[in-house]
Amino acid sequence: MKSAICVWHVVAASALLIFCALLFAAAFANAQLIAVESPGYRSDVHGNTEIRIHAPGFMSPLEAKSWLPGNTYGSDGTVSTISLDQDHNGSFIFPANSYPHGPIVIRIYGTRIIDAHVDTCFLQLYNTGGVSWNEGVPPTPPAAAAGMTLAFQDDFNGPLSISSTGVGSRYATHKPGGGDFSQIPFSDPTSRGPFFQRDTYLIIRADAHLHTTGLLSSIATTDGTGFTARAPYYMECRFIAPDASGTWPAFWTVTDEYKNGGWTGTTADEIDVIEAYGGEGFGNPNSPQVYEVTPHTWGYNIDSAPSVSNHVYMQNYGRGAGWAYTPHTYGLLVTRQNFVFYLDNVEVRRTPATPVAEDHPMYFMVNLAIGGNGWPVDLERYGNVADMYVDFIRVYH
């Protein structure tokens, strides 16, 4: 009996040691990520720029890629392969003048030795030189807006018009009718953010240090005044968003439920033109090449258009660029029959229209939310700051 007990103790102790070793290995692996030493994340670059990285525990070489300008969609280009020295450091030259002007991303890939996990570091930069390509409001209307007239346009090429309630300004900074949902709260504009204007871009900044991030609504939170559109209409927004874990960029529209001097909230339709979820790896709900379009019916149900997310696999369109790789234009056509969703002017989904949206005016929102539904949030890798660049918004009816 004593022998059996001793054997059991040995087995149990061995199992515990193995379990602890696995936990240690997992924690050690999770701590091993590709890091950029210089320039700093979100830095300005111009001309030939040295990028220095540190990648302990990774196989050599690594690969750096970034999106090149050209024609309608551009193309994915290899910037460099990066050999690591004995201290796990490496560097390469980024020829910024060959890449798009404005917000750009260099994706640095590598394979971790301990578990063969492929890690990607998304280095956000702002190219002060480079090639002006597909930025700013296009000179012609999109094909989906044929027969309509321009009702709203913002190129973000001048001072921003944003306030807490939206009264006396173009945008409000909270969801009308209540219901702000970001784990880092949507915040009012200050000199420290979360909204900045640069060239023809609106920057929405999520800052974990300041505990702020941003949402814009086209109507006021107090009385529903502002911009709305009624079917048929077409709206679009062009932006590039960060891939940091927990980032939740979106462009969406909701029926205006301000009636009889207050927010009724009885029934409403919500149409998500794009919901994207940042972060790669275990526990993250999505990836930089997948986003969701979803019609929601709130307060009622219909069989023909349930609130089910529709995945858009971006590798099937254009040159396959993800939403965190390069800016894209996300569009929505609303008619009394259908909701039609577009990516860079190409139809990607079509669903039956929902009853409330057929007859009621709708306002739009664009935001960089952080966290939701238990998804992991980790901005620390990128200095606890992540930027979304909105190029333009326009609406036709």
CB burial class (10 A; 0-12, 13-18, 19+) of residue 216? buried
**pTM of the entire structure?**
0.92
Nearest to 183 by CA among 166, 208, 202, 203: 208
Closest CA relative to residue 223, chosen from 266, 166, 171: 166
Say what the alpha-carbon torsion angle 136, 174, 340, 146 is, to the nearest 10 degrees.
-50
Q: Where are the domains of the chain?
A: 35-127, 143-396
CATH topology of 35-127 equal to that of 143-396?
no
CB proximity list for 9: less than 8 A, separation 6 or greater: none
Neighbours of 112 (CB within 10 A): 20
User: Taking the C-alpha atoms of 214, 375, 236 and 325 in order, what is their torsion angle to the nearest 10 degrees?
Assistant: 100
Say what the pLDDT of residue 22 is: 33
- Give the rounded distance of the alpha carbon of 303 from its chain centre: 30
At the second CATH level, the architecture of 35-127 is: Sandwich (2.60)
Based on the number of CB atoms within 10 Å of its own CB, is 318 exposed (0-12), middle (13-18) or buried (19 or more)?
middle
pLDDT value of residue 266: 82
Nearest alpha-carbon partner for 91 in 162, 131, 34: 34
- The SS3 call for residue 375 is coil
- With tokens 């023809």, the residue in question is 200
- Output the tens digit of pLDDT for each of the chain's 397 residues: 444 444 444 444 444 433 333 333 344 445 689 999 999 999 999 999 999 999 999 999 999 999 999 999 999 999 999 999 999 999 999 999 999 999 999 999 999 999 999 999 999 999 999 999 999 999 999 999 999 999 999 999 999 999 999 999 999 999 999 989 999 999 999 999 999 999 999 999 999 999 999 999 999 999 999 999 999 999 999 999 999 999 999 999 999 998 888 888 788 999 999 999 999 877 788 788 999 999 999 888 887 655 667 899 999 999 999 999 999 999 999 999 999 999 999 999 999 999 899 889 999 999 999 987 778 899 999 999 999 999 999 999 9
Both structure tokens of 81: 């392969």
CATH for the stretch 143-396: 2.60.120.200
pLDDT at 259: 85
> In terms of C-beta density within 10 A (0-12 exposed, 13-18 middle, 19 or more buried), how is residue 63 classed?
middle
Say what the pLDDT of residue 307 is: 65
Tokens 């086209």 found at: 218
Predicted local confidence at residue 70, as pLDDT: 95
In angstroms, the CA 223 to CA 93 distance is 53
Q: What is the pLDDT of residue 305?
A: 55
